[in-house]
Each structure stands twice: as C-alpha cells, then as structure tokens.
C-alpha cells in the first residue's frame, strides 16, 4: 500500500503551476498515488515529501536479525493481522530467561536440551535471554560469557544499565545479541552502544505513546535496528498493545511502529506463564521471553508456534511412507491414507486409540485430502499400489491386508489387482469410524 | 454492496400521485417491499412535480418511517428540503447529492457534519460530466479534499463517478471502471463509491441484463453501494453471487437467500 | 507523541444465548448462564464489549470411561460410576461452570444403554447439581436420534444445550429442541461453509431457534490441525461482527476429548522421555489448546483435566481485565 493522493497532496507546493504536466497539484498527487507519475516531475517538491514517499514503499514492518551464523533469528516483516488473509512469516523467537543470580551453567545446559521431534518435525527453542538481576557488571559479564560458551543460539541481554550492558558486550558483541532495553532515561547511551556494536536494540516505553516517542528519538540518532516493547506486562494490557502495534504498522503504515515487537511474561507460576506466553505468541509478539525451561512446558508452545506460522494456503503434507502405529509388526494390517497432514494425523490418532498395532501408508497426494486427491487422479489404484511397493511393505509385512478409506471404496477391485494379491478391506468413510471398524475386524 | 432502494421517487406514477394526494399507502407498501427485497437504505425523492419540496419531503419521511426502520437517503437538489428532512430522520441519513462545486459543497458538508449524515457526491462540476477517468478522479479528489477541510470524514462520502446510458456513451464504461478503482487511492480511509445503476441502461433493450452485468463488473472494481431496484430478484441474486466471488461473504449453499434476508 | 489508537467499528455483534432455567423460568437450575454478546474480537475491551465471560464445562459420562489415562482415576475414580456424584464433584470441587453429560453408554459398542437409561442419567445430573447442563449423545447418529426426543422431553423446561446437530443429521435433535425449548449444538467438521449452512437449515425449521444455536466448529487439538480451527473461528467471528447473522452465534469446543487422545497427552513419560513428564505435558497440552481458542473467540470450553480448567480459569480472569486506552 502506497501513500494516498490526499497524503501526497499535503506534501506538494499546491501552486497548480502545471510544470509537471498535470492541471493541478491534486491531479498530480492522484497520478503519483496510482503509480502513473514520478515525483521528479515536480520541480518544487520538498525533501520531506521525498522522504515520505520513500518510506511508503518500505514494508510495513522491518526485518530485524538477532544472532549469527546458522542461529540467526529473523524477526518482523509481517504483513497481516489475520493468518487466514495470507500468512504469518517469521515465527516468534522464544527465549528462555536465565538470571545472573541463578546457576547459569545448569540452566543453559537445560535450555540446550530443549529440542523435540514430533510429527516428523524438529522443534527448537531458538533464543536464550540473560538478565542482570545482580546489578553487578562483572557478575553479568561472567553469566553472559558462560551462556555464550555453552550455546550458539541467538541471545537477548537484559539490563537497563548501559555500563552493565557495555561490560557484557565486551564478550558477546560479535554474537549480535538483542539488547534490552533503551528507555527514556538511557536511550542515548544504549543507542550509542547498539550502533557501535551493530546489535539490535529493544526500545521500552511506559506505554505506546512513549514507545513511539522513543522510536523517533532513536531514529533521529541514526539507528533503525529496533524492536519495540510498550512495557505492558499484564496479559490483557499486553494483548491490547501488541494488537495496536500490529494494526497501526500494517493498516496505517504508522512508521514509528514499523518494527518487530517484544513481550516478556510476568507470571511466576510456570503453568500460567506458559499460557500467558501462548497469548503473546498467538497475537503478534515477535520475541517472547519466559522463565519456563522444562520440556513439557516448551513442547506445547513450540507446537502452537509451528501451527500458526504454517502457510494456510498451502496444504501441509507429511512424508509419504509406511508408518508404524504402536508395536506394528509383520502381522499388522496396513491402513491407506493420503499425506495431507490433517487427514493423516486424524487417522493416526484414531488408529492409536484402537490400541491395535497397525501400519499406515501415507500416499503422496501432494498434501490433498482423500476426496480431492481421488478427484484429481492422485489417489488411484495404480498410485497406491506403486506407493505400497516403494514403501517396503511387501517385504516387511507378511499379513497382506489393506484398509481403504470408505470414500474410495470403488477402488477395491482394481487395487486388489494392482497390488498383486493383497486383501483389500473397505474401511469407514470418516476417521471417527476407525475405532469401531478395527475392533470388529482386528481385535 | 450497500443497497439503496430507488423506488420511492415522485417520478414513478404511483408515488407521484400518492405524494400529491397525501396517500401514505403506496409509499409504505414500497418501503416494506424494498426492505423485504434486501434494501439497506431507502431513497426518497419527491419528484419534479411537487410544488412545495420542503413540505413534500417532510411528509415523505414521516410516512416512510412509519413503515420501515431502514435509514433514509434524502434525494433532492433543494438543500433546504434536505435540511428540514434531516431533522426528522430517526437514524443517521444520507444526503443525495452534491457535485464538486464550491458553494454547494460549502452548504452540504457542514450540514452533514451537523446531522451526522453521509453524503453522496457527484464527480461532476459546472462544466458537466467529464469524459475520461482522470478528470473524474480529479473531481473526486477535490470532493474529498474539500470535505476533509470542512471536517467531514471521507469514510462517510459516497462518490458517484456518474454513468451515462451505454447506447449513447459506450466509451464511458471503461473510464467509470478505472475511476472506481482509483477513487480508493485518494485517501485512507478511502471514500466509498456509489452508482445510480439504472442510468446505464436508459433507452436500451434488455435493461435488467445490462443493469446486473454492470453491477457485478462495478463491484469487481470496488463499488461499495448502488441505488437500485431492490425488488429485482435477478439483480439481487447477481449481487449476492458477486459478494461470494469477491470473498466479501462467506459461502454457504443458501447464500442467495441469506443475502436477501440478511437484515431480518 | 500521541499515538492514534486504532479501534475497529463493527456493524454487528455476536448473539447472546441463555442456558438453563431457574424455578421461576420453569426449570430447576440454581442460576442461568448467558454466553456470547461480544462486540469486538476477543478481549479487545478498548473497542467493544465482552459482556459474558467464557465458561467452562467439565465432562461427565453416563458410564465409567475405560480409555482415559490412569491419572484421571485420582480425580474421578470415586465418582465415575455415578453421573450425579461425578457432576457434583466437578462443580463443587473443581469449579466447573456447567456440566457436559456425554451419553457414551448409549453407544451400541459400549453399554447400548436404552433411551430410558439415558433419561435417568440426565435426571440424576439435574438433581445433583444446580448448574445448566449440556447433553450430547454417544456420537453414533442412528442411536443418538432415538435418544434426543426422550431426553429433551424428560428435561423439558430446563433449557438444556443439546447436541449434536450435523449437516447430515440435524432434524431429529432440532425437533427435540424445538418441541421442548432447548438450545442446540450445531457441529461442522472444520468447515466454515457447512457451519453457516447448518445454522441456516436449523433456523429454516424454526426461526425460534435463531437465538438458541451454539456453533461447534470442531476444535482440533494443538498439533493436530488446531490452526485450521483457529482460522475458521477467526473468520466466523469476523463475519459475525461484520453483520453475517448466520455466523453470529457463540462457539463451543470439546477441548478435553480432543486433547486426551493425542499422542502428546497419552504417551507415558517412559515412552517419550524427550517430551517431559506425561501428566503435566497433557495438562499443558489441554490448557494451551484452550488458550489458542480463547484467542480466536470461543465462548464455551469443555475441559477434562481439573488442573487445566484451573489454569484457564485464571487466564480468563486476566483476559477479562479492562485494557481500554
């Protein structure tokens, strides 16, 4: 979205001199808004007008990078309020908080162990935050050094004291950590530090208004690698502020808010903290800092992050292969479904619930559901038989029983032929019918 | 698309007679019928024959509001009649219309601000209706700039790019379409657009077909509102369908009925 | 620098539905519960109202469940052979706002309980607790269609929420609701078009049902398509606020039953040590799923683990705090 005619018009000299070739300044502004003229045609345009037009072509939210090498975390560059309108692009950086007053080495080791494998995907907690609670520059520096020595993940450094920050930067500036925070009181020194070391900087206001003011001041000092924190810490207030940041940046192109945003949990109870972080993750935070560090606490958050940052326009596919459910062995039946993840996981969940060890053959249908794939000729007897051969089922499963989704019962005969002697059973149409079906046939 | 029902207009014989004879029945009958047909607003026009436009407008508003709760669109070039009318309207109304002419804009926009009314504005001035899109857009921009300077929000402005019958001015068609698109570039929030639909088919054969085809094309180019025959079922069905295809309404199998009955 | 706060203006709002009926209203509930009525997206109090806080039900079955993870026994083991006692514990001890009675025992593959048995279970719960009641069938349409009418009749006047109606099978349950003035759960399979169409069909049978519908858009568990449900609910709620009355109903989700069949919730710690401790993992899986749907506008959550309910209760308190500017 560019500038509107009226906005451009406000920057023009309003002399109607006609030298640009348009009859009036207003007409020229409309030609600019429609992309049919260039500002250069106006001999009298001011520098401010040029700058306003330039900034209008920038993305609504800037991309800011934290960290180095393989562990860079991209923040921002979002363009939507709702993921269904297009998609969310850069997953929220989840940062585990370590205080310089706790056993730093132990916690960072625990943090490093926060990686998960589920539904064929690897999830990692991608950021670690170190906070100065001691007030002691030397102690903070030591903590930061310990963390940096034990993880290569992107770092966030939390202190509002520029001297303390400077001490820590002595040892980790080359890791490009995110610095929290510049405030109304310290922004000049913090900006100087961040600018000197080329590290991204969080600006923390007391509210949205003060945050916007800070942005203008820091931008005036020539620094734009910024992340914003409105200072809100209660769930409801933070939700409102995060919503305003995103709306004003995307819908109004309000430049002071055109940066990624930062949230930090305030709950002490780990359970409450996890779902407070979940709210921020759901609604627009680009970085969330939280204390929780247990596997069972991070797995749900990382899963939710994976979910909402998928592309809603793209069907999500799982790997097409033979999958074991329970202790499937050579005597277990083989269910057939597509590799559309929603279908696959529904089927898998239902088969699991039967507690009868089974195989699932997910056929590559380019991530489409059973009926869509069938209609599109991506789920024919030939294709299923081919997938069956490639999967190694022939050799690994002695019991040659296939269960066909009820919706494509019509394939039964041809699949029996194509598969070369497998018994083909017609299963239920919906996954919800699997339990009953399996108990009748295989229990 | 916002549907402004066109039928209560003194140019129609039954309405003209009713206004003259102070017979509320035909007016109330059409108010109800248009509401059932799916109108969002009711256009009220006393017609050319009324000797006292102010009194006629006041009476028309009163009897219409007895039959329908829909907001009204006061259609007159007599701004005193409109102002007296606005005082009687139970819901914020629409003023129809003002051209891009300074004294008229200075009369209408402050009045609209005072009564919280929306305004239909015409992309024309003393020199008449422009031929090409650029001139229409320039007039539209002038309307928005003037409204803005008089404290009237562009969001409440409905700009009519003005159509001419397609049998006499075929070349205006594409110009109107481009005007509809580019009006959205004037300001943010942008002004809305409106078209008096039946103009396009004056004096032609197949009027209904032309009307609804044009409506759908205009919607695809961003049209927000139409002054239309809300009881033309084929037209309303086409509008409902266009809304689905433009992703304005969420599809369901009964989408036509849902659109027409949306205000019940 | 003054920031101009962006407040959306919506044309319409979510309808309100009242559940339960007190003695004066012809029922026996100690109070009623109103859901819906929002005039903004979830918890954006700065631009609209959330007049009724979301409510949570706990599940009660008419037969002891056999496939819930073993740790549920410590909460429900002493009561799950008696739906009345079970409901009482859910309300008095665990703080459920209302009860969802699932007539699971009617399933021909479980107890094949008769419609009469079902009405007995419903009455037991109604006698045991004063909160409004949700009643759903066993999930097998052919059997459920035999249950709806007798249950609706036995609970006439109680203003139940009865379900579920589906596109292929809505007439029996809708007739039962119409005849006895109950509310209905309109369930669609993560499909907004069917969701809207089903509401229309229900209202076509009787316009009196228009403010008696609760939408069940089908809530997938976290990690199993939750983002699809989330986006469908966001679209439905946006549609409702922009004036689409056929989507303007409050929404319900069966969080507990979806979550507690996922691998993440049912896999014991020793089988997946990399996933952390099982019960806590399951609780957080349920709470995180509920959190996500609160953010997409859900009005009623049916939970299973009392601890998950407790976490969400607190979060609802937090979300209901005013955030106007």
pLDDT tens digits, one per residue of C34-54 = 999 999 999 999 999 999 999
Q: Do C235 and B253 touch (CB under 8 A)?
A: no
How far is it, in rounded angstroms, from Cα C287 to Cα A295?
A: 16
How far is it, in rounded angstroms, from Cα A259 to Cα B164?
A: 48
Q: How far is B254 from chain C (nearest CA, A)?
A: 7
Number of H helices and E strands in chain A, helices first, is 17, 17
Q: What is the CATH number of domain A5-56?
A: 1.10.15.40
E strand or H helix at A97, and its extent? Answer: strand A93-99
CB pairs under 8 A between A and C: 178
How far is it, in rounded angstroms, from Cα A110 to Cα A75?
A: 25
Q: Do C244 and B251 touch (CB under 8 A)?
A: no
How far is it, in rounded angstroms, from Cα C159 to Cα A350?
A: 34
Scanning the structure block, which residue is given the tokens 């997206």?
C41
Co-location of B237 and B206 in the same domain: no
Q: Output the 3-class SS for chain B.
A: CEEEEEEEECCCHHHHHHHHHCCHHHHHHHHHHHHHHCCCEEEEECCCCCCCHHHHHHHHHHHHHHHCCCCEEEECCCHHHHHHHHHHCCCCCEEEEEECCHHHHHHHHHHHHHHCCEEEEECCECCECCCCHHHHHHHHHHHHHHHHHCCCCHHHEEEECCCCCCCCCCCHHHHHHHHHHHHCCCCCCCCEEEEEHHHHHCCCCCHHHHHHHHHHHHHHCCCCEEEECCCCHHHHHHHHHHHHHCCCCCCCCCHHHHHHCCCC
Contacts of A27 in chain B (CB under 8 A): 134, 137-138, 141
Q: How far, CA to CA in Å, does A327 sit from each of A423, A427, A440, C102?
A: 21, 21, 20, 31
Co-location of B100 and B200 in the same domain: yes
Q: A56 pLDDT exceeds 80?
A: no
What does pLDDT average to over chain A?
92
How far is it, in rounded angstroms, from Cα A63 to Cα A59?
A: 9
Q: How far, CA to CA in Å, does A36 sit from each of B141, B183, B229?
A: 16, 14, 37
Encode pLDDT of C281-321 as tens digits: 999 999 999 999 999 999 999 999 999 999 999 999 999 99
Task: State in Å, rounded, how far the first CA of chain B is from the last one.
Answer: 17
How far is it, in rounded angstroms, from Cα C303 to Cα A96?
A: 29
Is B187 at the interface with chain A, CB within 8 A? yes
Q: B264 pLDDT exceeds 70?
A: no
Q: C100 pLDDT exceeds 80?
A: yes
Co-location of B212 and B249 in the same domain: no
Q: Average pLDDT of A408-422?
A: 92
How far is it, in rounded angstroms, from Cα C104 to Cα C61?
A: 6
How far is it, in rounded angstroms, from Cα C182 to Cα C134?
A: 10
| Residue A80, token pair as written in the block | 């939507």
Q: A113 pLDDT exceeds 70?
A: yes
Q: How far is C3 from chain B (nearest CA, A)?
A: 17
Chain-centre distance for alpha carbon B46: 15
What does pLDDT average to over chain C?
96
Q: Do C239 and B254 touch (CB under 8 A)?
A: no
Q: Average pLDDT of B188-201?
A: 94
E strand or H helix at A65, and its extent? Answer: strand A63-66
- Compare all CA atoms of chain A with the CA of B181 and give the residue at the minimum distance: A34
Q: Do C247 and B254 touch (CB under 8 A)?
A: no
Q: Average pLDDT of B124-143?
A: 93
Q: Do C276 and A432 touch (CB under 8 A)?
A: no
Co-location of B23 and B154 in the same domain: yes
Is A349 at the interface with chain C, CB within 8 A? yes
Cβ neighbours for A255, distance < 8 A, ≥ 6 positions apart:
A55
Q: B263 pLDDT exceeds 80?
A: no
Contacts of A4 in chain B (CB under 8 A): 185-188, 190
Encode pLDDT of C172-213 as tens digits: 999 999 999 999 999 998 889 999 999 999 999 999 999 999
Cis peptide before A181 (omega within 30 of 0): yes
How far is it, in rounded angstroms, from Cα C98 to Cα C158?
A: 13
Co-location of B250 and B200 in the same domain: no
| Residue C195, token pair as written in the block | 């969701």
Is B134 at the interface with chain A, CB within 8 A? yes
Split into its structural domains, chain B has a count of: 2
What is the SS3 assignment for C136? strand
Burial class (CB in 10 A: 0-12, 13-18, 19+), C59: buried
- Classify C24-315 by CATH class: alpha beta
Please name the residues between 298 and 327 in chain A that touch chain C, using a CB distance below 8 Å: 299-301, 303-304, 306-308, 310, 312
Encode pLDDT of A235-255 as tens digits: 999 999 999 999 999 998 899
Q: Average pLDDT of C263-275?
A: 89
| Residue B198, token pair as written in the block | 């039946």
How far is it, in rounded angstroms, from Cα A361 to Cα A96?
A: 38
ipTM of the complex: 0.96
| Strand locations in A378-429 (E) | 401-404, 423-426
Q: Do B187 and A30 touch (CB under 8 A)?
A: no
Per the CB < 8 A criterion, the answer to whether C282 and C260 are in contact is: yes
How far is it, in rounded angstroms, from Cα A180 to Cα A196?
A: 16
Q: What is the CATH number of domain A63-308?
A: 3.20.20.20
Co-location of B142 and B258 in the same domain: no
Specify the length of chain C in residues. Answer: 325
Structural domain including B144 reads: 2-232
Co-location of B159 and B68 in the same domain: yes
pTM, rounded to two decimals: 0.87
Encode pLDDT of C231-248 as tens digits: 999 999 999 999 999 999
pLDDT recorded at residue C77:
97
Q: Do C239 and B249 touch (CB under 8 A)?
A: yes
Encode pLDDT of A319-361 as tens digits: 889 999 989 999 999 999 999 887 888 898 889 888 899 999 9
Co-location of B170 and B262 in the same domain: no
Q: A1 pLDDT exceeds 60?
A: no
Q: Average pLDDT of A175-204?
A: 98
| Strand locations in A369-441 (E) | 401-404, 423-426
Encode pLDDT of A284-322 as tens digits: 999 999 999 999 999 999 999 999 999 888 777 788 899
Q: Do B251 and C196 touch (CB under 8 A)?
A: yes
pLDDT recorded at residue A343:
85
Please name the residues between 178 and 197 in chain C that touch chain B, using a CB distance below 8 Å: 192-194, 196-197
CATH 1.10.15.40 residue spans of chain A: 5-56
Q: Given pLDDT bands bounded at 50, 70 and 90, which one contains residue C129?
A: very high
Co-location of B206 and B257 in the same domain: no
Q: How far, CA to CA in Å, does B161 sit from each of B5, B69, B180, C280?
A: 19, 29, 7, 63
Q: Which CATH number fits the domain that encloses residue B35? A: 3.20.20.20
Nearest to A26 among B145, B154, B188 (CB): B145
pLDDT recorded at residue C1:
67
Per the CB < 8 A criterion, the answer to whether A427 and A403 are in contact is: yes
Contacts of C243 in chain B (CB under 8 A): 262
Nearest to A236 among C228, C277, C319 (CB): C319
Q: Given pLDDT bands bounded at 50, 70 and 90, which one contains residue A377?
A: confident
CATH of A322-441, one of 3.40.50.11600, 3.40.47.10, 3.40.50.1220, 3.30.160.20: 3.40.50.11600
How far is it, in rounded angstroms, from Cα B260 to Cα A62?
A: 44
pLDDT recorded at residue A57:
66
């Amino acid at each position: 979205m560019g500038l509107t005619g009226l906005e451009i018009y406000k920057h023009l000299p309003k002399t109607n001199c006609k030298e640009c070739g348009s009859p009036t300044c207003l007409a020229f502004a409309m030609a600019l808004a429609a992309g049919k003229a260039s500002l250069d045609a106006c001999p009298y345009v001011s520098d401010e007008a040029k700058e306003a037009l330039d900034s209008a072509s920038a993305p609504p939210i800037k991309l800011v990078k934290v960290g180095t090498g393989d562990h860079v975390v991209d923040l921002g560059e979002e363009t939507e309020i709702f993921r269904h309108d297009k998609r969310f692009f850069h997953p929220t950086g989840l940062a585990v908080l370590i205080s310089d007053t706790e056993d730093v080495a132990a916690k960072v080791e625990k943090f490093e162990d926060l990686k998960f494998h589920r539904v064929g995907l690897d999830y990692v907690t991608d950021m670690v935050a170190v906070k100065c609670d001691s007030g002691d520059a030397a102690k903070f520096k030591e903590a930061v050094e310990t963390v940096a020595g034990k993880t290569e993940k992107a770092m966030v450094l939390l202190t509002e004291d520029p001297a303390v920050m400077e001490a820590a930067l002595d040892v980790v500036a080359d890791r490009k950590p995110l610095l929290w925070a510049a405030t109304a009181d310290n922004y000049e020194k913090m900006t100087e530090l961040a600018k000197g070391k080329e590290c991204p900087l969080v600006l923390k206001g007391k509210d949205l208004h003060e945050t916007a003011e800070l942005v203008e001041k820091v931008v005036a000092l020539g620094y734009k690698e910024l992340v914003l924190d409105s200072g809100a810490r209660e769930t409801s207030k933070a939700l409102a502020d995060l919503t305003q940041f995103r709306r004003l940046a995307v819908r109004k192109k309000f430049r002071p808010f055109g940066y990624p945003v930062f949230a930090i949990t305030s709950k002490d109870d780990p359970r409450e903290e996890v779902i407070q972080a979940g709210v921020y993750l759901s609604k627009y935070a680009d970085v969330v800092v939280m204390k929780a560090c247990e596997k069972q606490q991070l797995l749900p958050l990382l899963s939710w992050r994976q979910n909402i940052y998928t592309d809603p326009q793209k069907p999500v596919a799982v790997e097409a292969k033979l999958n074991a459910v329970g202790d499937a062995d050579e005597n277990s039946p083989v269910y057939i479904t597509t590799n559309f993840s929603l279908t696959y996981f529904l089927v898998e969940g239902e088969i699991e619930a039967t507690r009868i060890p089974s195989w699932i053959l997910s056929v590559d249908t380019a991530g489409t559901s059973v009926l869509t794939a069938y209609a599109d000729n991506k789920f024919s007897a030939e294709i299923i038989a081919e997938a069956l051969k490639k999967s190694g089922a022939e050799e690994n499963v002695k019991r040659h029983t296939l269960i066909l989704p009820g919706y494509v019962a019509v394939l039964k005969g041809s699949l029996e032929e194509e598969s070369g002697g497998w018994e083909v059973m017609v299963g239920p149409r919906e996954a919800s019918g699997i339990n009953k079906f399996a108990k009748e046939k295989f229990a | 698309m916002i549907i402004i029902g066109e039928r209560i207009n003194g140019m129609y014989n039954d309405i003209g007679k009713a206004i003259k004879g102070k017979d509320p029945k035909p007016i109330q009958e059409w108010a109800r019928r248009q509401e059932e047909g799916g109108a969002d607003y009711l256009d009220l026009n006393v017609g050319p024959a009324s000797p006292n436009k102010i009194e006629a407008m006041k009476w028309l508003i009163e009897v219409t509001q007895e039959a329908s709760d829909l907001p009204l669109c006061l259609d007159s070039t007599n701004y005193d009649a409109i102002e007296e009318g606005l005082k009687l309207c139970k819901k914020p109304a629409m003023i129809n219309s003002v051209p891009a002419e300074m004294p008229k804009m200075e009369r209408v926009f402050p009045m609209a601000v005072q009564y919280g009314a929306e305004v239909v504005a015409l992309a024309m001035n003393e020199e008449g209706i422009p031929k090409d899109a650029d001139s229409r857009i320039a007039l539209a921009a002038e309307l928005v700039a003037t409204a803005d300077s008089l404290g009237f929000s562009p969001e409440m402005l409905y700009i009519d790019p003005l159509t001419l019958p397609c049998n006499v001015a075929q070349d205006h068609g594409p110009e109107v379409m481009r005007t509809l698109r580019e009006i959205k570039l004037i300001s943010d929030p942008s002004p809305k657009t409106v078209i008096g639909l039946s103009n396009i088919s004056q004096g032609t054969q197949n009027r209904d077909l032309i009307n609804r085809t044009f409506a759908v094309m205009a919607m695809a180019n961003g049209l927000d509102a139409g002054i239309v025959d809300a009881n033309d079922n084929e037209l309303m069905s086409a509008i409902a369908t266009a809304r689905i295809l433009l992703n304005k309404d969420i599809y369901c199998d009964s989408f036509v009925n849902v659109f027409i009955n949306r205000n019940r | 620098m003054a920031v101009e706060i962006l407040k959306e203006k919506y044309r319409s709002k979510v309808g309100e539905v009242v559940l339960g009926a007190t003695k004066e209203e012809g029922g026996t509930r100690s109070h009623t519960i109103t859901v819906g009525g929002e005039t903004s997206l979830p918890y954006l109090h700065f631009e609209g109202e959330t007049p009724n806080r979301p409510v949570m039900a706990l599940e009660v079955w008419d037969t002891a469940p056999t496939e819930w993870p073993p740790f549920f026994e410590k909460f429900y083991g002493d009561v799950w052979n008696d739906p009345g006692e079970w409901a009482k514990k859910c309300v008095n001890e665990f703080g459920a706002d209302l009860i969802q009675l699932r007539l699971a025992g009617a399933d021909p593959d479980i107890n094949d309980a008769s419609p009469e048995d079902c009405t007995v279970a419903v009455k037991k719960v109604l006698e045991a607790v004063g909160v409004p009641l949700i009643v759903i069938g066993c999930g097998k349409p052919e059997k459920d269609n035999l249950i709806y009418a007798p249950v609706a009749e036995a609970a006439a006047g109680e203003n139940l929420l009865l379900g579920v109606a589906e596109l292929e099978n809505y007439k029996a349950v809708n007739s039962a609701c119409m005849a006895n003035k109950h509310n209905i759960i309109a369930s669609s399979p993560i499909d907004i078009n069917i969701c809207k169409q089903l509401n229309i069909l229900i209202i076509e049978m009787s316009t009196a049902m228009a403010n008696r519908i609760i939408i069940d858009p089908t809530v997938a568990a976290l990690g199993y398509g939750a983002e699809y449900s989330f986006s469908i609910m966001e679209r439905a709620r946006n549609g409702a606020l922009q004036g689409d009355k056929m989507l303007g109903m409050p929404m319900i989700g069966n969080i507990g039953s979806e979550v507690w069949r996922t691998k993440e919730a049912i896999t014991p710690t020793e089988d997946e040590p990399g996933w952390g401790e099982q019960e806590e993992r399951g609780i957080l899986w349920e709470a995180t799923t509920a959190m996500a749907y609160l953010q997409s506008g859900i009005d009623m959550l049916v939970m299973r683990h009392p601890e998950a309910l407790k976490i969400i209760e607190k979060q609802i308190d937090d979300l209901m705090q005013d955030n106007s500017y």
